[in-house]
Amino acid sequence: MLFVLEPIWSIKTETASRVRARVEAVLTWATVAGHRTGDNPARWRGNLDALLPRPGRVAEKVNHPAIALAEAPAWYAALRKREGTAPQALAFLTLCASRSGEVRGATWNEFDMRAKVWNISAKRMKAEREHRVALSDAAVAIVEAMPVLNDSPFVFAAVRGGPLSDMTLSAVMRRMQDGEVKAGRARFLDPRNRRPAVPHGLRSTFRDWAAEHTDYPRDMAELALAHIVGSEVERAYRRGDMLEKRRAMMTDWACFLGAM
């Protein structure tokens, strides 16, 4: 298992981690069902965790194409004209500055609508740490507007009730870019490399906004992105996650996009 994972662990961390988890689940089932014996080579705790860095500790080496700040409001307005579950999920992702997998895997029981908080368990987070998202009124409105599909636990469910695939949100952005090309416009491209923006790049757009258009502390923006902030000693003394302060920041972000 190490032979397969090690070459891609630092460059395709999320994919490699997902593959490892699925292999572990399959082999665990096979053991319980009596189809195999012995240790599970894909087990993380007490096995691969001694040989590979935690996924959350691996630095992202890819610069994902992002929407330019100046075009972000126009892009969001164009997105909100689109109907369907995937555009709704992408709008929610944008408002929360979340990762695609976090949004696509969001379940109804993770939301405290009265408190306007989205609670994501550690097992669903890249850094393997529980994360609370302070929801703006615009983000709350999107969740409240989503129908319960076939008793699915997923807020942004696919037609058959499962989660949206990992390419669904990318496809929305790709179709938006195709529309720009057909209209003879060159919008919604990364200003650095002129590549079409992708969902993960929206997190960079949020980070640029926080740094260039606001006075919010850097740590607050990093916490909103679910990044690990400070050393282990600093984190031991600072237990809070600035949830209520982040709520004001996410509301300002929604206002910047024109969502409120």
What's the gap between Cα 57 and its chain centre?
16
Q: Beta 131-134 vs 111-112: how paired, if at all?
A: unpaired
Radius of gyration of the chain (CA): 20
Here the CATH number for the domain that contains residue 206 is 1.10.443.10
CA distances from 7 to 3, 25, 51, 126, 202 (A): 7, 22, 13, 19, 28
Instruction: Specify if 64 maps to a domain.
Output: no
Same domain, 126 and 158: yes
**pLDDT tens per residue across span 203-236:** 999 999 999 999 999 999 999 999 877 656 455 5
**pLDDT tens per residue across span 244-256:** 999 999 999 999 9
Q: What pLDDT score was predicted for residue 166? A: 85
Instruction: Specify if 63 maps to a domain.
Output: no
What's the gap between Cα 260 and its chain centre?
22
Structural domain that includes position 89: 69-257
Same domain, 16 and 136: no
Same domain, 25 and 94: no
**pLDDT tens per residue across span 159-213:** 999 999 989 999 999 999 999 989 999 899 999 888 999 999 999 999 999 999 9
Instruction: Specify if 18 maps to a domain.
Output: yes
Q: How many CB atoms lie within 10 A of CB 3?
A: 6
Same domain, 102 and 41: no
Average pLDDT over residues 92-110: 98
Pick from 55, 73, 11: nearest CA to 205:
73
Instruction: Specify if 62 maps to a domain.
Output: no
d(CA 35, CA 46): 23
Alpha helices in 81-188 (DSSP H): 85-96, 100-104, 137-145, 168-182
Q: Is 172 exposed, middle or buried (0-12, 13-18, 19+ CB in 10 A)?
A: buried
Instruction: Specify if 32 maps to a domain.
Output: yes
Same domain, 49 and 91: no
Q: What pLDDT score was predicted for residue 7? A: 77
N-terminal to C-terminal alpha carbon distance within the chain: 49
Angle ∠(113,117,123) on CA atoms, nearest 5: 120
Considering its fold, how many domains does the chain have in total? 2
Which pLDDT band holds residue 16 (cuts at 50, 70, 90)?
A: confident
Torsion of CA 85, 165, 69, 132, to 10 degrees: 80
